[in-house]
Amino acid sequence: MPHLSELQGQYANDGVTIIGVTKEDPSNSLEAVRKMTTEKGDTMAYTVAWDDEGKTYADYMTASGQRGIPTSFLVDREGMIAYIGHPMAMDLPMAMVVDGTWDVVEGPGMIEKIQEAKYAIQRGARSATKDSAGPLLKKVAAFLKEYPAMADSIELAHFQLLTADGQASEAAAIGWRIVNAAVTGKDFGSLNEIAWGIVDPLAKVESRDLGLALYAATVASNLSNNEDPAILDTLARVHFWMGGIDRAIELQEMAIALADSAMADDLEDALEEYLGAQ
């Protein structure tokens, strides 16, 4: 939702209208959709349509053999479907359709190639070390030069690689941009992901941006009503790294109380570490 809202704002003056379509099913009703769109507010800053009797679903999803949700259909200025794919991969086709450079025949293959390059960078970033970050950052630079419209799609990976490479100030600039966007979109999952990437004890990070991690994890916990054990675990680790051992213990105990048995075992190990540091 935040991504589609961002695209709608970006192309608002280019005649682009983004429409999210939903229909009735055993767990979905028109009343529920109206309630959700009202509660989401600016997080859903695009048009939402109710598909009466599933007619639009039949004309688009069924007719094109699509089964996965979400699926996006990009309709060009002539009313022809120019691209079908996941909404998170729609940035470049959208930009090229708007400026008239999209090739309906060659375009999907190009997108597949770009996705492969993006995923390779993201996979490498998750386990990046000081030694591996440098070569991957060169790939990031080449990717951004060739596909500037896809910058947002590897922003988190870029942040992770800069952090692993010890480029603290450059990483901070990107990190705060990601966090602020996630706060605006009330995306507590992304907030937790970036916070954990900073404080993960297994990550070989020379300089941990604990201020950024504290803000991201605190907002993430607030957005989840302090009921998500994974987020509470992250927030506890932030406080531990910052020397707030008592607060870390308190948060870790909250996380364990909310976790299932499998997850609780891992959380207990962290609690023992914090108790041992008292």
Q: Do residues 268 and 237 touch, judged by C-beta distance below 8 A?
A: no
Q: Do 265 and 127 have their domain in common?
A: yes
Write the single-letter amino acid at 12: A
Q: What is the DSSP letter of 259?
A: S
Write the single-letter amino acid at 46: Y
CA 198/CA 137 separation, integer angstroms: 18
Q: Which of 104, 139, 174 is the last residue of a domain?
A: 104
Q: Do 172 and 203 have their domain in common?
A: yes
pLDDT at 275: 96
Q: Nearest-CA neighbor of 44 among 87, 85, 14?
A: 87
CATH number at residue 228: 1.25.40.10
**Residue 152 pLDDT exceeds 80:** yes
| Domain total in the chain | 2
Q: Do 173 and 227 have their domain in common?
A: yes
Confidence of residue 258 (pLDDT cuts 50, 70, 90): very high
CA 157/CA 133 separation, integer angstroms: 10
CA 44/CA 6 separation, integer angstroms: 9
Confidence of residue 74 (pLDDT cuts 50, 70, 90): very high
- Percent share of the chain, pLDDT over 70: 100
Q: Do residues 246 and 212 touch, judged by C-beta distance below 8 A?
A: no
Mean pLDDT across 39-57: 89
- Condensed to tens digits (0 to 9), the pLDDT of residues 199-213 reads 999 887 778 999 999
Joined tokens for residue 44: 């859903």
Q: Do 31 and 165 have their domain in common?
A: no
Q: Do 59 and 128 have their domain in common?
A: no
- Condensed to tens digits (0 to 9), the pLDDT of residues 175-234 reads 999 999 889 888 899 999 999 989 999 887 778 999 999 999 999 999 999 999 999 999
Can you name the residues that pair with 25 across neighbouring β-strands? 28
Provide the sign of the torsion angle of the four alpha carbons 47, 53, 56, 58, taken in this order: positive
Q: Do 66 and 80 have their domain in common?
A: yes
Q: Do 173 and 86 have their domain in common?
A: no
Mean pLDDT across 45-56: 92
Provide the sign of the torsion angle of the four alpha carbons 18, 118, 133, 208, taken in this order: positive
Q: Do 58 and 76 have their domain in common?
A: yes
Mean pLDDT of the chain: 92
pLDDT at 261: 86
Provide the sign of the torsion angle of the four alpha carbons 108, 114, 120, 123, taken in this order: negative
CATH number at residue 16: 3.40.30.10
Confidence of residue 169 (pLDDT cuts 50, 70, 90): very high
Alpha-carbon radius of gyration of the chain? 21
**3-class DSSP state of 49:** strand
Q: Do residues 86 and 70 touch, judged by C-beta distance below 8 A?
A: yes
Q: What is the DSSP letter of 11?
A: T
pLDDT at 6: 86
Q: Do 82 and 130 have their domain in common?
A: no
β-bridge pairing 81-85 and 19-23: unpaired
- Percent share of the chain, pLDDT over 90: 69
pLDDT at 3: 84
Print the domain residue range for 179: 110-276
CA 247/CA 51 separation, integer angstroms: 49
Q: Which of 73, 104, 135 is the last residue of a domain?
A: 104
Q: Do 69 and 171 have their domain in common?
A: no
Q: Do 74 and 169 have their domain in common?
A: no
Count Cβ atoms within 10 A of the Cβ of residue 55 and give its class: 0-12 exposed, 13-18 middle, 19 or more buried. exposed
CA 11/CA 149 separation, integer angstroms: 13
Q: Do 238 and 134 have their domain in common?
A: yes
Confidence of residue 257 (pLDDT cuts 50, 70, 90): very high
Q: Which of 83, 104, 125 is the last residue of a domain?
A: 104
